[in-house]
A and B are shown apart, each in its own frame.
Chain A
Amino acid sequence: MEKLRQIKFESPTFTKRIKGMLGVDLYRLFHTPLFYIFIAIAAIIPAMLIAMTGMTGPNGEPSTPLFTNVWQAIAADIPIYGFEGIEKYANMNMVFIFGGIMVSIFIGHDYKSGYVKQLFTTHAKKEDYMISKSLTCAFTMACMCVSYLFGGVIAGLLTQISFAVNVGNLLCAILGKIIMSLGWASLYTFLNVIFRRYFGVSIASSFFFGTGILVIGVGSIIGNTPVLNVFLYGSSVFACLSSNLWTLINCLAVSLAWTGIYILLGSHILNKSDVY
């Protein structure tokens, strides 16, 4: 009983709390196959897209090339918000679709295994959960973007298509998309918190939003306007091969703003509803 009287309850600082929860998520990420599978998927997608460029038709005639330049598989030449053919759509933005599925599986396992009970028993602050998941999943999607880049480059070398590009614009496009990973990760974390009891719905909703279909639909109606950059998909499209520093600032602002909104909304939902 003497020891009992010595029990002290020191409130952990925000940094210590996040370090603990983020540590768990990263440990789990690196010790399960999920992360490596999605990294591999990200590398395969551009390779497949670029490989299609060199395909021939049924009679042996060369088909219309999907890309004339390797970097078109990374980002579109100019921002096109509506749908104008698969070649304008199929680029690094596809990482965000597969990333959504990855986030759904990652968070879904928290609930399926019951581990989330351990997290919420020891962490009273629900925003810790939202922040940690968003950062971990953003890191994964950023890694997928890099993997996508390598997959594209290797496929380009093998198919010997053009590598001509303005390096500055290309770097801004890639960095812009990597920055957007955070916003997308927080959106998916939020969706998975809403549909935490319905794994299938979580995946379906992540896929739905990841395709950017809402912005594409609006873009087709109101036209190709930069107003759509306020949305995650809009800014992801904005990070294209004509990007510059302004693009990066735009991506950073939009990504952070949406991250903040989704973390606040997700924390509110977790605080006001039964978590398990």
Chain B
Amino acid sequence: MQHPERSRRRRRDAGLNQVAAWTRRAVGVGIVLSGLLAAGLAHLLPGQAADRADGGPEAPVSSEPSAPPATSPSPDGSARPHRTHRPRLTPPATAPAAPPSTPVRRPAHTTSGGS
């Protein structure tokens, strides 16, 4: 007949082993799921999904008959995901002014929203 204390300890050890196994399995599943989630998010990021979807090794089709070959990436890094500066619209050196009230001249030009 087994000692009750030893038997209790064996049951406790078995339980702990089972918990450790579950934990390892859960961590493993978590790592796999995190990887899948990260891959999914990366695919959804603007500017990247399209790059990957169509990023085959095709040679560029020229849109101008005698264009020279493509050179290195543009100086400003215009491939969007790699930009380092944020473009801004630049204010004028001087704001438009009200014309002198007299003498009244005809305007030189009209801007009326053709754009």
Q: Are both chains from one complex?
A: no
